[in-house]
Structure 1
Amino acid sequence: MNRFGRLNTLRNQIFLGFMLVMVIVLALVGAFVYEQVSVLLRNSAEKHIQQTAVQATGKLDALLKQVDTLTAQVSTNATVQRFLTQETEGKPITFGERQSLQQEVRKYEAYATGIRSLELYTTDYRRLFPLDEGSLASRVRGEWIAMADEGMGKLVWFGQDPRDQDVVVAMRRVRLVDQSFAHGGYLLVRLEKSYFELADSAGDTGQSREAMGLFDQAGHEISSDFDVTVNSKEILHREGETVTIGNEDYIAVQKQSEATGWTLVILTPVDYTTEGISVLRTAVIVSGAVGALLFLILSFILTTMIIRPILKMIKSMRGARFGTLKPISVTSKTMEINELTNTYNQMVDSLNELIEVVYQKELIQSRTELKALQAQINPHFLFNTLEAFYWALDDQGEEELAQIVVAMSGLFRYVINRKDEDEWVMIGDELDHAERYLIIMKMRMLDRLSWRIEADEASRAVPIPKLLIQPIVENAILHGVEQRLGPGTVIVRAQPSERPGHTVVSVSDDGPGMDGETLASLYASMEKGHVPSSKNSGVGLSNVEQRLRLYYDAGQAGLCIQSEAGAGTTISFEIPNVYRRNPGEEETHEDDIDRG
């Protein structure tokens, strides 16, 4: 035994198994505790960040509300309303009126901070003030104008001005109060980005080193206090994720303004959210090491207690290899070891009994095989005897009797001499077997029996289970021809069915037939598996019916009996030309059917 074999003992396996389980458990518990506490610390930091975001969002909403209130006052100013009404009525205002309108609006600008300019446009996008001849269509994009129209008088925020990156643009549609709030023009407001500085609302950001950024719908930066230039695509739509800016990792928290659709992003360094985790990591490692040491000592003691009784049992069991199995005595005080010893003793008793049973079965099997060899000789003796009768009759000129002996020999050989697994034959083989049976029956019935077999070559080559046709022919003779007062005829046919790929086999007689009640009783008896009859055992037709349903589709296969009182009887069945033993596997007579 090599060194590894000597080390591969039950004690070492239990010891290593315990240690492995301990390491896995401690590792999983340590990882779980570490992860959960880390999550708690991070969640606490994120709550602080969320609170900061709520405060910043509140200030942003207040700033937006101020602008909304200012623009609402301008759009509802009596002078603005009067001049826009005049414009909508097709009466352009004069340059002097435009100057007075601008002076009126300047009064509102004086009370607001951060507003770079207010611009007023007519419904056809002409600028009324400032006093230059500008156009709203050349000032902003068409979709912005459409958004202002959809706002129906509400202030719509667009974000960064395409012409001036330091300016934010918003616009509202002016509605004429005296004209049933009809469309009167557009008021465009341009604000400095510095108006939206939010850093002061975060409280003491120096301790947490938080950074804020405000971005419009297109991702353009409106305001931020980031130390480095940040690509908005790297931080937007990454709520709760870790992003890397420069050489430092940040956790991103986002808030979106319902009024503007702008996104407020607050970035907090990961180091800030994970403060105290290093102490937790050290505590988990020390606790795991102490637990491993204690488990190592306890595992050694436990394995020693388990293995010592088993080693004693092994020494007692080794003697069983040199002779008859013998039980061993129970010496351990441990319940499990005692149970193991008792089980071993029971196994020894059972094995001794089984050895005796196997020995007796071997004797019986040998005798059975001898009888089977003797049984194989008997059919050959029968065939040889019939062959001797045939040649003796042929030498004496008894050709008719000789043919009957040949038919009988073929009948027995067909039934007895085939292998058990050779269950499938051709319809032609079955018809030949039925003809031999008819020849033998004619010897008994003489001129009272005549027959006719009709089958084309294609139908004769269709595969069929063995011994399906002969029982029906036998039934036609016993219950048809023999019941007539005069001669009778049996007709056996095999022909293509009206269904493509199927063949119909029928056996007809001109016997007395059956009435409807008798026919129904016959069907019911076949369902039960036995047909009452005084001529034979009554299982021939039932056997054929059950075999058809076993070999073929039970919903379609089966015997069809057509009979009328005084008009004879026809029994038929329909089978497919190709038999499928397994789904998707076709077996044809060329490949799998032994023709005998």
Structure 2
Amino acid sequence: MLKLGRLNTLRNQIFIGFLLVMIIVLALGGTFTYDRVSVLLRHSAERHIQQTAVQATGKLEALVRQIDTLTAQVATDASVQRLLIQETEGKRITFSERQSLQQIASNYQAYGTGIRSLELYTTDYRRLFPLDDVSLNSRIPEEWIVRADREMGRLVWLGLDPNDSGVAIAIRRVRLIDRSFSHGGYLTMRIERGYFELSDSSVADDGSRESMVLLDGAGRTIASGFPSYYGVEESIASGEESVSIDGESYIAIRQRSESTGWTLAILTPVDYSTEGISVLRAAIVVAGVIGGLLFLVLTFILSTMITRPILNLMKAMRGARLGSLKPNPYTSSTMEINELNYAYNQMVAYLNELIDVVYQKEIIQSRTELKALQAQINPHFLFNTLEAFYWELEEKGEEELARIVVAMSGLFRYVISRPDEDEWVTISDELDHAERYLQIMEMRMVDRLTWRIEVDNASRSVPIPKLLVQPLVENAILHGVEQRAGPGSVVLRVEASERPGYTSVTVVDTGPGMNEEASRALREAIEEGRSLSSKGTGVGLANVQRRLNLYYDSRAQGLDIRSAEGEGASFGFEIPNEHGGEIKNEEDSDR
């Protein structure tokens, strides 16, 4: 067991770990390379197939144009036009005239190959030639006739004949040139399927190269390089890039003819597109073996280089007295890591003691600063003087000034607390203190200041550290209302926050506001703890931010500052509705 423990060193674990990583990396790299190169080879084959498809499509369009030209010549022939006009005027043409149409159609038909027949119909679907009484709507579906009407004289390719799968049908609505191109009848052409055979010498008969399949708009095969029993229509109609026909996989490239609406598919065996993959596979295997051997040697050297400095660091950490905040509860099967954990946990114990001392000093320092602010005024002298002012003003009938003196007395009595009083009050107490301050500032600024306090009753009993709201009101007046040319207003708003269990306190002024640069500088100064008050000896925004962090830790997010140049400013914060302090009422503090 002891011998096994000695083998379980960090160096051996790094060596084995790197070896496994090497195997995974080489496997993934080889697989990725094989996959990507295979894709490149396949794409190259697809581009070749795409070129073949473009060429085949061009050939198909040329065949289509021939039929389009031929049918256009028949439809605009003078004799055909004359006899159709006669029919539209209600004069039935004679049998001999129908024979002459038959002769005209035969002459035009001789110019094309693969044309089985030309057929001419009147507007009421009667056939003029060939010489029988078959109607158009009995030869083709009604919706095909509607398509021909909708195209207004353009040639419409309908696909395979419903009555004869060996021919394809195209139809054109004949327009009477001398009758303002009005409807004169229908001309249909039946073409042999062999007319559309697009295969050439570039397509091998053994199926090792491309095979072409031409489908009409309904998905029926017009021309195909496969036997009819293979059922290639379903595979091509699926729209997938790879299709399987008779157990063999093919890459399918599809081109749609704009003239006919038919689909031309070029099918190439997958084996053809992946030629040379075996050579690539062998090259990847050889490269992986060579790379693996080199990686083994480098891993052994690297693991030795890593573990040697760690051993030296472990010896140095045994005498250290600094560390992180929490001890590491985890153990490891590696000897070196366990030694590091032991030294680390030693440092944690000493660091926790240091943190506790620093934390207590911060609390004492914060409370001392607040007490120093409160003790700047001699309470007994101040209260006696204010009381004398009050009675003197009452005797002289100066009720407004007497009210202000009472407000000042209440304000200072609230600020100056005895050493045995707690620092926590309710929001209602803070609002009363802020109201007294606003009354005093209203008298000083006369008609330049208007103010109001908005609070819901549910928020009045929420506990809050003393003197946390008044500095925001003071800041709104000194740096907001006083900095504008005309009258201004201050709104102190207390309401339930959108966060459950929290209360929002916001002070909004209509001062000149701040631009983005000034707002950013203000936030940085507050975070650094610098007081920004330029008038008086107020607690300041920096002290409010620091006290929020001290009393609420991470439960309060600090001051929220919102301002835009020319649109005033808003300062506020959110505090939880519960805290760990105790609140003493006014009666207890006066005893």
User: TM-score normalized by structure 2?
Assistant: 0.59
Work out the CA distance in 2 between the residues paired with 1:9 and 1:309: 14
Whether 2:265 is the aligned partner of 1:265: answer: yes
Work out the CA distance in 1 between the residues paired with 2:158 and 2:456: 78
Q: C-alpha displacement at 1:257, in angstroms?
A: 1.1
Q: Within 5 A, what are the aligned runs for 1:61-210? A: 61-200=61-200, 202-204=202-204, 206=206, 208-210=208-210
Unaligned segments of structure 2, at least 5 residues: 323-339, 365-383, 418-422, 444-450, 460-494, 504-577, 586-591
Q: C-alpha displacement at 1:250, in angstroms?
A: 0.8
Provide the residue aligned with 1:467 in structure 2. Answer: none
Provide the residue aligned with 2:13 in structure 1. Answer: 13
Provide the residue aligned with 1:485 in structure 2. Answer: 395
Provide the residue aligned with 1:583 in structure 2. Answer: 498
Deviations, residues 115-171 of structure 1 (Å, cap 9, x unaligned): 222111112222212222232233323332222223222211011122222221110
**CA 287–79 in structure 1, closer or farther in 2 if over 3 Å, else same:** same
Work out the CA distance in 1 between the residues paired with 2:430 and 2:138: 87
Work out the CA distance in 1 between the residues paired with 2:252 and 2:355: 82
Work out the CA distance in 1 between the residues paired with 2:455 and 2:211: 85
Q: Within 5 A, what are the aligned runs for 1:548-563? A: 548=427
CA contact (8 A) 2:393 2:401 kept: no
Q: C-alpha displacement at 1:173, in angstroms?
A: 1.2
Q: Counterpart of 1:26 in structure 2: which amino acid?
A: L
Provide the residue aligned with 1:299 in structure 2. Answer: 299
**CA 66–536 in structure 1, closer or farther in 2 if over 3 Å, else same:** closer
Q: C-alpha displacement at 1:103, in angstroms?
A: 2.2
Work out the CA distance in 2 between the residues paired with 1:585 and 1:293: 62
Work out the CA distance in 2 between the residues paired with 1:62 and 1:92: 38
Query: 289-298 or 29-38, which moves further after superposition?
Result: 29-38
**CA 242–299 in structure 1, closer or farther in 2 if over 3 Å, else same:** same
Q: Counterpart of 1:177 in structure 2: which amino acid?
A: I
Q: Counterpart of 2:458 in structure 1: which amino acid?
A: V
Provide the residue aligned with 2:236 in structure 1. Answer: 235
Q: C-alpha displacement at 1:300, in angstroms?
A: 1.0
Provide the residue aligned with 2:555 in structure 1. Answer: none
Query: 49-58 or 188-197, which moves further after superposition?
Result: 49-58
Q: Counterpart of 1:576 in structure 2: which amino acid?
A: D
CA contact (8 A) 1:120 1:186 kept: yes
Identity %: 51
Work out the CA distance in 1 between the residues paired with 2:174 and 2:435: 83
Q: C-alpha displacement at 1:85, in angstroms?
A: 1.0
Matched residue SS, 2:395 = coil
Matched residue SS, 1:153 = coil
CA contact (8 A) 2:126 2:134 kept: yes
Deviations, residues 456-484 of structure 1 (Å, cap 9, x unaligned): xxxxxxxxxxxxxxxxxx99988767732
**CA 186–476 in structure 1, closer or farther in 2 if over 3 Å, else same:** farther
Provide the residue aligned with 1:25 in structure 2. Answer: 25
Q: Within 5 A, what are the aligned runs for 1:376-455? A: none
CA contact (8 A) 1:169 1:188 kept: yes
Q: C-alpha displacement at 1:312, in angstroms?
A: 5.6
**CA 110–174 in structure 1, closer or farther in 2 if over 3 Å, else same:** same
Query: 571-580 or 120-129, which moves further after superposition?
Result: 571-580
Unaligned segments of structure 1, at least 5 residues: 327-343, 369-473, 487-509, 523-530, 565-570
Q: C-alpha displacement at 1:108, in angstroms?
A: 1.9
Deviations, residues 224-260 of structure 1 (Å, cap 9, x unaligned): 0114522423223636x11122211111011111210
Work out the CA distance in 2 between the residues paired with 1:550 and 1:275: 87
CA contact (8 A) 1:169 1:189 kept: yes
**CA 532–572 in structure 1, closer or farther in 2 if over 3 Å, else same:** closer
CA contact (8 A) 2:407 2:439 kept: no
Higher Rg: 1
Work out the CA distance in 1 between the residues paired with 2:278 and 2:117: 54
CA root-mean-square deviation: 5.0
**CA 156–356 in structure 1, closer or farther in 2 if over 3 Å, else same:** closer
Deviations, residues 65-85 of structure 1 (Å, cap 9, x unaligned): 221121112111121111001
Deviations, residues 430-479 of structure 1 (Å, cap 9, x unaligned): xxxxxxxxxxxxxxxxxxxxxxxxxxxxxxxxxxxxxxxxxxxx999887
Work out the CA distance in 2 between the residues paired with 1:15 and 1:82: 97
Matched residue SS, 2:282 = helix
Q: C-alpha displacement at 1:26, in angstroms?
A: 2.4
Work out the CA distance in 1 between the residues paired with 2:351 and 2:263: 86
User: TM-score normalized by structure 1?
Assistant: 0.59
Q: Counterpart of 2:395 in structure 1: which amino acid?
A: L
Q: Counterpart of 1:104 in structure 2: which amino acid?
A: I
Q: Within 5 A, what are the aligned runs for 1:419-568? A: 483-485=393-395, 512-514=399-401, 538=412, 540=414, 548=427
Q: C-alpha displacement at 1:313, in angstroms?
A: 5.8
Deviations, residues 345-373 of structure 1 (Å, cap 9, x unaligned): xx99x9799689859959x99xx9xxxxx
Matched residue SS, 1:223 = strand
Aligned length: 418
Work out the CA distance in 2 between the residues paired with 1:512 and 1:484: 6
**CA 17–181 in structure 1, closer or farther in 2 if over 3 Å, else same:** same
CA contact (8 A) 1:121 1:187 kept: yes
